[in-house]
Amino acid sequence: MEIRSLRDIQPGEECFIHYVNVLQTVNVRRKKLYDNYRFWCECLRCKRELKILADTAIGDRLKLEETEAKAQTFLAKIDKEFDENYYKMLETCETGLDAVQNDLDTTNPHMAQLHVRTQEACIGLQKWKAAVKSGMEIIRACKTHLLPTDPILGFHMWRVAKIQAVTLNQPIVARDLLQQAIDVMSIGYGSTHPMTMEAKELLGTIIDQ
Ligand SMILES: [Zn+2]
């Protein structure tokens, strides 16, 4: 087993791993942790995000919870009903985004999860430009909520850069993002991980052009 640290560790500092998808809201993460592991998470991030919620005016908080619940319903429907039925999946993602996007920040984790499924459907349907567009939204949300070295961020950067460079044949457009993906993946996955190696090889061919 190999353990990779995403940031420097101070002497005596406790190390944590996450048991759930970290690109979710604090309430969703804590509920899943409680349902699956029977504890209410008190990590620094949960405490920080709970404090923000507690400081939000009650009316705004109820509105936010209502909209997030709506987004959750769409996500659950997509995951349950449309496995590999990409037309239906995309249609429901678009309806879901339309229903919630006026009331949620563009980087809200529920928005990001809808974009993740939108991108999956677009890739399945070979709608590559739309897949890049969703990918950019996912990257923005990852940058907002995750550590800058999180492998999830690296993965999404790599996915978008690869579509741009290889499928859309726009290597120059992809170059900066590809470099960033390599920097992040070198820490998150390691510099010799097959995905990092493949990204480096692709960047090499772009620089040679
Ligand atoms: Zn936590």
Domain that holds residue 115: 57-144
In a domain, 79, yes or no: yes
The secondary structure of residue 14, as a DSSP letter, is: P
Contacts of residue 106, defined as CB under 8 A and 6 or more positions apart, other chains included, come to 137, 140, 141
Copy the structure tokens of residue 100. Answer: 């919630």
- CA 142 / ligand 1 centre spacing (Å): 16
pTM given for the model:
0.91
In a domain, 95, yes or no: yes
102: exposed, middle or buried (Cβ count in 10 Å: 0-12, 13-18, 19+): exposed
59: exposed, middle or buried (Cβ count in 10 Å: 0-12, 13-18, 19+): exposed
- Rounded CA gap, 51 and 205, in Å? 48
- CA 8 / ligand 1 centre spacing (Å): 19
In a domain, 125, yes or no: yes
User: Are 138 and 62 contained in the same domain?
Assistant: yes
- CA 42 / ligand 1 centre spacing (Å): 5
Query: What pLDDT does residue 1 have?
Result: 83
- Rounded CA gap, 192 and 207, in Å? 20
From 55, 72, 104, give the residue that closes a domain: 55
In a domain, 11, yes or no: no
From 95, 116, 144, give the residue that closes a domain: 144
pLDDT band of 148, cuts 50, 70, 90: very high
In the chain, where does DSSP find H-type helix? 26-37, 44-55, 58-81, 86-100, 109-124, 128-145, 151-162, 171-185, 194-208
- CA 43 / ligand 1 centre spacing (Å): 4
User: Are 97 and 115 contained in the same domain?
Assistant: yes
Dump pLDDT digits (tens) for 53-97. Answer: 999 999 999 999 999 999 999 999 999 887 779 999 999 999 999
User: Are 34 and 48 contained in the same domain?
Assistant: yes
Near ion ligand 1, which residues have CB within 5 Å? 41, 43, 46
- CA 15 / ligand 1 centre spacing (Å): 13
User: Are 133 and 150 contained in the same domain?
Assistant: no
